[in-house]
Amino acid sequence: MPLRTLAILLLGWAAGSAAEEQAVFVVEFQPGVDPALAQWLVLAGGLRVRPHLDLLPNHLLVEGQREEVLKLAGDSEVRHIFPASPALMRGEAVRSCAGPIIGDGKIGQYIASAGNGWGQAKQGPVTVGYFIERFGEKLPGDKVREMIVRALEEWARYVEIRFVPAEDAKAPHTLNFLFGKGDHGDAYAFDGPGGVAAHAFYPAPVNPESIAGDVHFDDDENWQQATGPDFYSVALHEIGHALGLLHSDDPGAVMYPYYQTFPKLQGDDIRGIRRIYARQCIGVECAMRYSP
């Protein structure tokens, strides 16, 4: 067989294999959809459900040809479809975030935006206070403070937000951080180790100033241990919500709905926060903008 013909056949085989390649997605169903119905819809479409113990209650890990998986979006029971992270595909243990608390509930990932954060649609510099109301039992207080400040500064690297210590947890424009167990003073009780690790409240005016932007951590978690969540990574993610970001579909983003260990923000996170706030200024220009 001529080499040219063989090359053409090999290219055709490779293209066909790529077209038939299996992909893995997270399929988010509408709240209240019966899990048995969700499974049936996936299987009826000729797709495979990958079992995973750590998925959110209305999520399924679905494998199949990309086009066939995306056809599920036409079902009224399906809320959103997004790519699975490598950790989910490998079946590794993960920790999930249900999303920021907005008003009387939590917002779905299919929503692109729900406000302008603490500013007014990129209208210049914003100053936001932070306060640590209550430390936990698993981590030293100075270590918690160091990681929270480092996470705040990471977001401030890319947009015009200045974080300043506040004197009162309930002060306007203030992110209040605390550790709590079970019923800890809001309507979203924690569920002990291995469940919800943390939650954050969206900025005002979506939430009232008394709780807007607050970030709570479950003190029953084995923070920073081999079997527990990485505190800095969770804080970095939840601060994103407290500043006005929702979840990202990008498996390589800090704001992906399943926590991942990142030392810094990723490209999609930076693009997301810059859609809400002005880009970071530098030097004298920055000092002038923040001056009274």
Query: Known catalytic residues?
Result: 238
Nearest CA to 56 out of 28, 85, 30, 18 is that of: 28
Structure tokens, 123: 């209208």
176 forms beta bridges with: 131
Are the beta carbons of 232 and 151 closer than 8 angstroms? yes
Are the beta carbons of 244 and 120 closer than 8 angstroms? no
Structure tokens, 128: 């936001």
Nearest CA to 210 out of 246, 240, 234, 186 is that of: 186
Burial of residue 149 (number of CB atoms within 10 Å: 0-12, 13-18, 19+): middle
Question: For residues 98-123, b (16+ Cβ closer than 10 Å) or e, as one string?
Answer: bbbbbeeebbebeeeebbbbbbeebe
Nearest CA to 44 out of 68, 10, 65, 8 is that of: 68
Q: CA-to-CA distance for 2 and 123, rounded, in angstroms?
A: 66
Q: CA-to-CA distance for 42 and 99, rounded, in angstroms?
A: 24
Q: What does the DSSP 8-state code read for residue 201?
A: B
Element (H, E) at 185: none
